[in-house]
């Protein structure tokens, strides 16, 4: 009889475990859906509120160079913001791509294991510094230094935040590029070395082309990070809505415009208020396009070994 009771208890426990197992996939699905639902909510918020702006402002005005949202007769030409974002991001990539790629080549192909264990965490520390600290660093240290070197450089300019943004995204380029290079099999390295190539020739002519999909993806993701940067450009680039490619002059990016206008100047429900969502939607489209492009490049040029 006792054996029979034990069997019934075991069956009851098993049934409980089975019910819990059946619930687990649903719970995991709910948790996994949070990020998807959040993304959908963000897109809907941007599209719905930006639609109020686009219904009142014609496209011919949006793609003009006159941006004066606080005038009695406001104008909303977003080309100065797009140009400012392009200039600072281009400067950042001119800094981050060569330094990040060279650092990745060194860590992957030339560094010893012990050196890599020390150097890689040091490089990745840059990614953990708050961006507002980078902004004050750009404004209080880099800009005065550049003003001594470049005559005519304004106290607020595009060059200083662009350089500091480049420093900030070096870890992204380095880490992803190094991972791509490490994925190349050692047999390829050994074959190139056996044919008489130097380590530098192997790194430049063999490893980099073999890992090109991951390297390009790191560049594109770094550009997306630079485009979306806020505090560095808000502090160091100024708020002048100039449509210019002159990096010595103050400019304003899309993110800096959002920061400036949300500081209390935009009354809720006004056309200026809805312009924030229009700029945010444009910024979202730019970064999403860059991420999709990175995914396309990765798939197109990926080499499986």
What is the share, in percent, of the chain residues with pLDDT greater than 70? 90
Residue with tokens 């489209």: 285
Residue 173 and residue 214 in contact, taking contact as beta carbons nearer than 8 Å: no
Residue 140 to residues 36, 137, 168, 204, 206, Cα–Cα distance (Å): 40, 5, 16, 38, 43
E-only strand ranges, the chain: 67-68, 75-76
What one-character DSSP code corresponds to residue 66?
A: -
Which of 213, 205, 202, 206 is closest to 179 using CA atoms? 213
Residue 301 to residues 80, 98, 304, Cα–Cα distance (Å): 35, 21, 10
d(CA 157, CA 175): 29
Residue 271 and residue 57 in contact, taking contact as beta carbons nearer than 8 Å: yes
d(CA 81, CA 102): 32
Range scoring the smallest mean pLDDT among 6-15, 159-168, 294-303: 6-15
Class of domain 67-301: mainly alpha
Q: What is the mean pLDDT of the chain?
A: 84
- Binned at pLDDT 50, 70 and 90, residue 303 comes out as low
Q: What pLDDT, on a 0 to 100 scale, did the predictor assign at position 11?
A: 60
Q: What is the DSSP secondary-structure string of 162-191?
A: HHHHHHHHHHHHHHHHHHHHHTS-HHHHHH
The structural domains of the chain, with segments of one domain joined by +, span 2-56, 67-301
- Over range 225-237, report the average pLDDT: 86
Q: What pLDDT, on a 0 to 100 scale, did the predictor assign at position 195?
A: 84
What one-character DSSP code corresponds to residue 76?
A: E
The rounded Cα 48 to chain-centroid distance in angstroms is 25
Which residues neighbour 276 within 8 Å (Cβ) at sequence distance 6 or greater?
A: 257, 258, 261, 262, 266
Residue 87 and residue 166 in contact, taking contact as beta carbons nearer than 8 Å: no
Tokens standing for 24?
A: 């687990």
Output the 3-class SS for 246-260: CCCCCCCCHHHHHHH
Which of 92, 105, 96, 89 is closest to 177 using CA atoms? 105
Tokens standing for 168?
A: 């900030």
Residue 234 to residues 2, 157, 226, Cα–Cα distance (Å): 76, 11, 13
pTM of the shown model? 0.83
Note the pLDDT tens digit of each residue in 241-266.
888 888 888 888 888 888 877 766 56
Note the pLDDT tens digit of each residue in 37-60.
888 888 898 888 888 888 888 888
Residue 231 and residue 131 in contact, taking contact as beta carbons nearer than 8 Å: yes
């Amino acid at each position: 009889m006792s054996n029979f009771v034990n069997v019934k208890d075991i069956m009851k426990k098993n049934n409980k475990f089975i019910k819990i197992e059946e619930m687990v996939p649903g719970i995991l699905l709910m948790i996994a859906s949070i990020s998807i639902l959040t993304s959908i909510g963000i897109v809907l918020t941007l599209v719905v509120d930006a639609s109020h702006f686009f219904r009142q402002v014609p496209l011919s005005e949006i793609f003009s160079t006159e941006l004066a949202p606080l005038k009695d007769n406001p104008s909303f030409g977003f080309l100065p913001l797009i140009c400012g974002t392009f200039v600072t991001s281009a400067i950042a990539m001119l800094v981050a791509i060569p330094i990040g790629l060279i650092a990745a080549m060194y860590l992957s192909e030339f560094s010893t294991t012990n050196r890599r264990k020390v150097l890689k965490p040091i490089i990745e520390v840059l990614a953990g510094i708050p961006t507002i600290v980078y902004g004050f660093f750009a404004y209080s240290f880099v800009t005065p230094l550049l003003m001594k070197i470049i005559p005519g450089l304004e106290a607020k300019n595009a060059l200083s935040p662009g350089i500091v943004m480049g420093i900030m995204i070096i870890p992204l380029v380095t880490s992803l590029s190094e991972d791509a290079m490490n994925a190349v099999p050692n047999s390829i390295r050994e074959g190139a070395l056996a044919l008489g190539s130097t380590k530098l020739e192997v790194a430049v002519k063999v490893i980099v082309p073999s890992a090109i999909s991951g390297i390009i993806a790191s560049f594109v993701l770094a550009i997306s990070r630079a485009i979306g940067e806020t505090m560095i450009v808000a502090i160091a680039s100024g708020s002048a809505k100039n449509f210019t490619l002159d990096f010595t002059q103050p400019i304003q990016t899309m993110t800096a415009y959002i920061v400036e206008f949300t500081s209390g100047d935009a009354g809720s429900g006004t056309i200026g208020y809805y312009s924030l969502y229009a700029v945010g939607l444009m910024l979202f489209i730019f970064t999403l396009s860059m991420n999709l492009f990175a995914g396309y490049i990765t798939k197109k040029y990926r080499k499986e070994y």
